[in-house]
Amino acid sequence: MKYRKLGHTDIEVSLIGLGTMTWGEQNTEAEAHEQLDYALSRGINLVDTAEMYPVPPRAETQGRTEAYIGSWLAKTGRRHEIVLASKVAGPTSDPKRPSHIRDGKVRLDRKNITEAVDTSLQRLRTDYLDLYQLHWPDRTTMCFGRPAYPWRTDEYTVPIEETLEVLGDLVKAGKIRYVGVSNETPWGVAQFLKYSETRGLPRIVSIQNPYNLLNRTYECGLSEFSHLDGVGLLAYSPLAMGVLTGKYLNGARPEGARMTLFTRFDRYSKPQAEKAAAEYVQLALDHGLSPAILAQAFVNQQPFVTSNLIGATNLDQLKENIDSVDVELSQDVLEGIKAIHQRYPNPAP
């Protein structure tokens, strides 16, 4: 395994991080524990979850993912071996976002963040989180596949400064060590950094945004914050929800696969994205690589990536995902990726 610094902290996190959002929906508790055992045996130390998980978010299952991690921690006593990250849910103005958490009255304010942290710690059976992230902004902006800035004035949003003050108090209380953002924009990152510098509030150490061959929008603006300000990317959806493995090509819907089970996952199924995915799959095969390895090795090689958050529903997928850490893409492959990207630039933002 390879390791990279988490922002300006002294924490080293594994280049491959373990995503958990299927646990409690597509994966049982026993399977979750099996994945944790195997991931740690391969050198993974970053485990990422959220109060909202599993996905799709439902009232009946909400919090189950954290509970599975908590039961594993209680059983194994290996809390000191992992960097544990979770997230607080934001407002529910978008119909695809969960309205059952705290009765839908969710904001990134003191009441909600404090309650979210406390309940996550209870489910996880730990007294602190290494990294606590804002799952999405309090304001309406571009995230979760929205292709353009909505240019909408919200009736009210919790000021970023206020949110950081709450997080600062939780750091002082020892409940969280570091803070990060998720599904955030360049403007938002700049605001968080501004208040940390002018008010002495916690500095964000990471940003968890989508990054894959079909969505490289992170490179346009946000990557500069990684380079110059140390806000490292925790890249999620490196396989574009499995589309880059090729298993959905030509309209295929394998039994048990995420896009077969759940119609809400349409972010990467646009016609241009499917065409681009087919070309990336063929490029991998032409060079004797599995499509999944090519897609994830590309993410791993980016200098702004702190950790590549993989997700798997079985151990075979998990093993292949982790194996990508040992693959260095050749210049010929990189040139092939460049050519496809020029034909299909960010077909699934």
**Which residues, listed in sequence order, are joined to residue 14 by a DSSP beta bridge?**
3
* Beta carbons of 258 and 266 less than 8 angstroms apart: no
Best CA proximity match to 22, nearest among 317, 313, 321: 313
**Which spans in the chain are helix H?**
29-41, 64-76, 110-124, 160-172, 186-199, 222-229, 258-261, 271-286, 291-300, 315-323, 331-343
| Euclidean distance between CA atoms 72 and 30, whole angstroms | 9
Q: How do 12-14 and 83-88 pair as beta strands?
A: unpaired
Query: In terms of Cα–Cα distance, which of 210, 208, 213, 211 is closest to 289?
Result: 213
Our answer to whether residue 53 is catalytic in this structure is: yes
Distance (Å, whole) CA 349 – CA 345: 9
Q: CB–CB of 90/138 below 8 Å?
A: yes
Calpha distance 302→222 (Å, rounded): 13
Token look-up 């978010």 returns 57
Q: Which two tokens stand for residue 70?
A: 């908590």
Q: Which of 53, 132, 178, 218 is catalytic?
A: 53
Which DSSP string corresponds to 141-170?
Answer: -S-TT--S------S----HHHHHHHHHHH
CA dist 110 and 345 (Å) reads 40
DSSP 201: P
> Number of C-alpha atoms within 13 angstroms, CB side, residue 1?
22
What residues are annotated to the active site?
Answer: 53
